[in-house]
Homo-oligomer: A and B are copies of this chain.
């Protein structure tokens, strides 16, 4: 149990009991929301789920899912990547990459090419139609994001994006 709450001394915070989160200038309009979404981490989790669902729903008509889209976008940035690279960079298991690239190849969006210097590796490249698809769905992606970030004005969206990017810099990937 957590009774021994891992009292590991964190390098920050002078360990004064300020657990009951001090003044919250956040105006949660509904009472239950204050309690539920008081924690930013949990908020991120919930919003991430919702965002993923929206994206998946948007990609559904094309037969792909968010993970395929991630692979495509990565390929678009590097123009040729080893599967191992996709695995480490995107955070998916190598076995997952196999299926994803299979699907993309089946749709003609990507190709596996033999590596000239190492016959173990396969270089995955984005095809023309894959690039077209990416361009087409980019608009849909923006639409989804717009829907998600509905109540925010452009400046706020920019600020949010910057903040999230700062976090992503740190630990993600």
Question: Residues of A at under 8 Å CB distance from B?
Answer: 1-3, 5-6, 10, 12-13, 19-22, 25-29, 31-37, 39-52, 54-55, 61-62, 66, 69-70, 73-74, 76-78, 85, 88-92, 133, 136-146, 148-152, 156-173
Measured between beta carbons, the chain B residues less than 8 angstroms from A21 are 142
Closest B residue by C-beta to A87: B3
A171 touching B50, Cβ below 8 Å: yes
User: Assuming the A-B contacts A25-B158, A146-B10, A173-B26, are A141 and B41 also in contact, with contact meaning beta carbons closer than 8 angstroms in the complex?
Assistant: yes
Measured between beta carbons, the chain B residues less than 8 angstroms from A41 are 51, 54-55, 141, 144-145, 148-149
Measured between beta carbons, the chain B residues less than 8 angstroms from A50 are 91, 171-172
Closest B residue by C-beta to A135: B19
Complex Cα distance A137/B91, Å? 27
**A/B interface sample: 30 pairs, CB < 8 A:** A2-B61, A2-B171, A5-B139, A10-B146, A19-B139, A25-B162, A26-B158, A26-B162, A26-B169, A26-B173, A28-B169, A36-B90, A37-B168, A40-B164, A41-B55, A41-B148, A41-B149, A42-B51, A43-B164, A43-B168, A44-B51, A44-B148, A45-B66, A46-B172, A47-B168, A49-B91, A151-B170, A159-B159, A160-B160, A160-B164
